[in-house]
Structure 1
């Protein structure tokens, strides 16, 4: 919080974290206002809750009326507000409004009308963007309609109903629409044009409606919101029946809908990505435009509340990265250290494959893709296909380099998978891209493989080519995310020169890009304007700083020459030189732990490299005879690289140190120019050839890495 305040992201905030029966954090930070006067944030500061109104007031009110038999979720909304049926909206149901699958526009213009009746007339005039139930559109209009339904069915305005039936029963003394508290207790917000709103709702539509609307308008405190969160964790005590809470907080969006929403609550949609990955698949929550958020996880009886007024004082604040950082800490605190990470396929299973229900699916995969029970993703999806009630229909498999078993070298032929009986189309044979014939009859492509975290690896490019093919065929593309095994927190190495992209590197990246495959897919889609309908099924409980063996997963070799995690750690460094005429241990039992050639003096190379004092590794003289690849059957001398501290190792620097040592000692023999595609930078290669100190070469990468970090930031999911 202090970091975010110092960086000008928010003026201040109040944070509450509850775990079990304890309030672990209840703290105010910074200021609630900085102009026209500075006022510190306090625990009783009243904040504009913005879209938290949807879950605190409107959704609860609807469910109470459902409990009383006055509303049926699956009846058309027009049954309760007849005028709403106009312009193609007659079939939109209450449930579709609650889940944002009504396909109504996100909002209405804030001109040419005023007052509640003016807003309702504008909504009557709207036309849906698509047939109801077919498209997720997060829409304030949905909840304005629901608020009007509450008024018509209950006979009370939404603010009066919520006060009498929700806020007062829960003892939420400082929660209301149009707050009457003294202004100096309320955090101000700013709107476009520099206007200061202090005690009046920031949302422009709710403001023109007089401060009361189904989508925005509630003001609250952290302590009042704590009472609301505890009510939800208690099964609705005093306000809702347990069955209503269960319905609200479990997926209710249409089968096959990519965004999972409960009744009002967010579960797993693009808007949940700042908080959901840190908690379990039972969790749910909501955020608000003004900088408010609540997330609740019944599995650990945890709730996290963050209230800020990020739009004050200039309308430019942004609290999203703050929410991610706080959620990471809160999620870790709630579960302790023993809970394992859930991969994308585990999350898909936990939600009953709802996102893929009813779709004909092709899966791009290999044996590195296993669920937490050790089953291949192909087998998991095939079994889901056999379910009754419209599960996903897995109809084809696609294999990358090294084949479905991740064990072959060279071109791979298409064939058939013995376990599932499905056709397997090779994407490393006659074609490296899915063809229209391969994609015929599919609704979606799903990608699930384990990456290694290095720039030079073909699986991300296979994913990108498949994304391009899916876009051309108008298919949805799902990435079932997995960890970056060498941590997603470290970015190192030269950024590839723009004209050196190839099948091993789809986009200019540093040697260690520090991204998961799901994040790379988001980057590729944006940077290359692929235009695919991309959906990333995010992991749960994953932290960027985790090495693979800290996630709870067993290492399954993603390709034949990375049988151990330690080799994947060394790969970004040792792999940098393998295009030259040296062996990096391929064809031995220790790939990427050995470097040698028949013309190398192992002791001389060992002494030189140990003299460089490269952090995280040491070197031993070695003799070995590769069975294949470079120098098959020939005795090679060189070094064995012993990993001593992976946290201190700068693996791209290791690669340059190896290259520089070989060039200095054996410049007349080393075919150094062949390494250009791996080091990725002509300037860096020229510096090595000019005998520039490797540490200075590595220092020259800093500007490129900084530029990449800025480009990478919007696409991070964890």
Structure 2
């Protein structure tokens, strides 16, 4: 706050924030802190899951007002993913403060991209209050341009190994904004953290990432959303269990239900699912296809296992992964095909790192 406040004095401010935008151990929200310091906050732009972080994945977020402060809230998840020129007209500076988890398809970084674009087009400065990456690995396939979508806007690996501040520098530096425009950018760096150091989140970054263990499995399990395998949405252990209503998938059982604060309408709702329990399994050190290949083989369905093949390809960012799984290739064989792309990415990434020894 000491660095941020002087940048905002006598400025009209817009915030891109959610429930993770906490500024002290008391759990004070950035919005409340800025208002108490006399900062003029004109509006809040809300990402996926909403300003308070309680909307389901994929659920459309509506415009409204914050009940506590009366500040207007404008959704950036739904039809409007990018602040319009009209929405930017009455602000001088935008502050982005959201906790990311290091996965390319986690949509907060896509929201950041569009905010950067809006700032570049209107000449407004974006201030990023940076936060550590809790899944700080470079792994997985590098995105192919033909598969770009809101769950993958940048030609980066599935686990990109950057903070949002570093990624914003990369977006600017590599000319990834529309028309290769540059966003006026200021990054307030994290103190007392370097790449490679573990980081535990005090607030769950989205409804179904309830602890550090689930976050570590998130990137590897999320592709199951392109199949009929439940990854535990509708339980109190999402991203820590896997299964479906078929005994062939394992002896462990769970039943997804409608859970407020987790998932209102989960896959296989009220059905007994059979599968595996990952709660005591060691966290993966990066991205793994181990569990996906295991369930694919147990299914005996071949290509039909992919109920949404295009969605799987968009999540992975490379259509060859699905084809190679169907062909029966091992994880090691599939990963070997990513090596060259990852080597090239790491060289490019090095230019933008802020937290190295």
When the two structures are superposed, what TM-score results if normalisation uses the length of structure 1?
0.46
1:291-690 alignment runs, 5 A limit: 349-351=1-3, 353-373=5-25, 374-384=27-37, 386=38, 392-409=39-56, 410-487=59-136, 490-527=137-174, 528=176, 529-549=180-200, 554-603=201-250, 621-627=251-257, 628-646=265-283, 649-653=284-288, 656-668=289-301, 670-671=305-306, 673=309, 674-690=311-327
For residue 644 of structure 1, report the CA deviation from its aligned partner.
4.2
Match of 2:261 in 1: none
Q: Verify the 8 A CA contact 1:446 1:477 in the aligned structure 2.
A: yes
Q: Is the 8 A contact 1:412 1:429 kept in 2?
A: yes
> Measured at CA, do residues 667 and 650 of structure 1 come closer, stay the same or move farther in structure 2, by a change above 3 Å?
farther
Shift of 1:535: 0.9
**Cα distance in structure 2, aligned partners of 1:456 and 1:667:** 28
Shift of 1:463: 0.5
Quick check: 1:687–1:697 contact (8 Å CA) kept in 2? Answer: yes
In the superposition, relative to structure 1, how do residues 681 and 430 fare at CA in structure 2: closer, same or farther (>3 Å)?
closer
CA distance in 1, matches of 2:197, 2:23: 18
Q: Deviations over 1:655-684 (max 9, x none)?
A: x22222222221325126342222222222
1:693 alignment partner in structure 2: 330
Structure 1, residues 10-44: CA drift from partner, whole Å, max 9, x if none?
xxxxxxxxxxxxxxxxxxxxxxxxxxxxxxxxxxx
Paired with 2:249 and 2:149, the residues of 1 have a C-alpha distance of 34
Q: Distance in 2 between matches of 1:545 and 1:644?
A: 21
Q: Distance in 2 between matches of 1:357 and 1:504?
A: 35
SS of match in other structure, 1:468 = helix
* Native 8 Å contact 1:492 1:650 kept in 2: no
Q: Which one scores higher on RCO, CA 8 angstroms, separation ≥ 6? A: 2
| Alpha-carbon offset, residue 512 of structure 1 | 1.1
**Cα 1:596–1:379 shift into 2, 3 Å:** same
SS at match of 2:138: coil
Q: Distance in 2 between matches of 1:442 and 1:475?
A: 8
For the 8 Å contact 1:577–1:658, the answer to whether it is kept is no
Cα offsets for 1:593-626 (capped at 9, x unmatched):
11111135133xxxxxxxxxxxxxxxxx421111
1:205-260 CA distance string (max 9 Å, x none) = xxxxxxxxxxxxxxxxxxxxxxxxxxxxxxxxxxxxxxxxxxxxxxxxxxxxxxxx
* SS class of match (1:705): helix
Report which stretch shifted further, 672-681 or 447-456: 672-681
Q: Give, in angstroms, the shift of residue 516 of structure 1.
A: 0.3
1:23-82 Cα distance to aligned partner (Å, 9 max, x none): xxxxxxxxxxxxxxxxxxxxxxxxxxxxxxxxxxxxxxxxxxxxxxxxxxxxxxxxxxxx
State how far apart, in whole Å, the 2-side matches of 1:494 and 1:430 are.
Answer: 29
- Structure 1 vs Structure 2 CA RMSD: 1.7
Question: Does the CA contact (< 8 Å) of 2:249 and 2:295 recur in 1?
Answer: no
Cα distance in 2, alignment partners of residues 682 and 562 from structure 1: 26
C-alpha distance in 1, partners of 2:84/2:165?
Answer: 23
Count, aligned residues:
337
Asked if the contact 2:53/2:206 (under 8 Å) is kept, the reply is: yes
- In structure 2, the residue matched to 1:334 is none
Separation (CA, whole Å) in 1 of partners of 2:306 and 2:343: 31
Q: SS at the partner of 1:403?
A: coil
- Alpha-carbon distance in 2 for matches of 1:710, 1:643: 35
Unaligned runs of 5+ in 2: 258-264
Q: Following TM superposition, by how much is the alpha carbon of 1:462 offset from its aligned partner in structure 2, in angstroms? A: 0.3
Structure 1 residues 560, 638: CA separation in 2 closer, same or farther (over 3 Å shift)? same
Matches of 2:316 and 2:48, distance apart in 1 = 22
Q: Deviations over 1:84-126 (max 9, x none)?
A: xxxxxxxxxxxxxxxxxxxxxxxxxxxxxxxxxxxxxxxxxxx
Deviations 1:158-179 (A, max 9, x none): xxxxxxxxxxxxxxxxxxxxxx
1:430 Cα deviation (Å)? 3.5
C-alpha separation in 1, matches of 2:352 and 2:81: 26
Decide whether the 8 Å contact of 2:135 with 2:286 is kept in 1: no
Q: Give the CA deviation at 1:507.
A: 0.4
Alpha-carbon offset, residue 352 of structure 1: 6.4
Mapped to 2, the partners of 1:526 and 1:405 lie a distance apart of: 32
